Copies of this chain bind each other. A is one copy, B any other.
Amino acid sequence: MELITVFKALSNEIRVNILIWLKEPRLHFPAEELQDYDPKLGVCVSDIKKKAGLSASTTSDYLSLLQKCGLVDATRVGQWTYYKRNEKAMATLNKMIRETF
């Protein structure tokens, strides 16, 4: 995991929020508003897009940026892509920060 790359990903409020939302999807994405949700797979792009108030393209960009630096995992199921936090990576990040600084 590249610390600088991760910090770049985290220096945007919406991307940080996405990570917070994905920590407890049921809490941040009320069931009745959820287009699609699978606890195993995560939340789909449209729902994140709606909550973030971004265009589809920006939402997709942000999510793939978070994925590229390992903080979330993506699973494509049919026409949907589900994103969920990579909890192991989040723990590694915390550890790296603690050890580096």
Give me the interface of A with B, judged by CB distance under 8 Å: 3-4, 7-8, 10-13, 16, 19-20, 23, 90, 93-94, 97-98, 100-101
Query: Are A11 and B13 closer than 8 Å at their CB atoms?
Result: no
Q: List 27 A-B contacts (CB under 8 A).
A: A3-B10, A3-B16, A4-B10, A4-B11, A4-B12, A4-B13, A4-B16, A7-B7, A7-B10, A7-B11, A7-B16, A8-B11, A10-B11, A11-B11, A16-B100, A19-B101, A20-B100, A20-B101, A23-B101, A90-B101, A93-B97, A93-B101, A94-B94, A94-B97, A94-B98, A94-B101, A97-B97
Q: Give Cα distance in the complex from A100 to B23, angstroms.
A: 10
**How many subunits of this chain does the assembly comprise?**
2
- The smallest beta-carbon distance between A62 and chain B, in angstroms, is 14
- The smallest beta-carbon distance between A83 and chain B, in angstroms, is 15
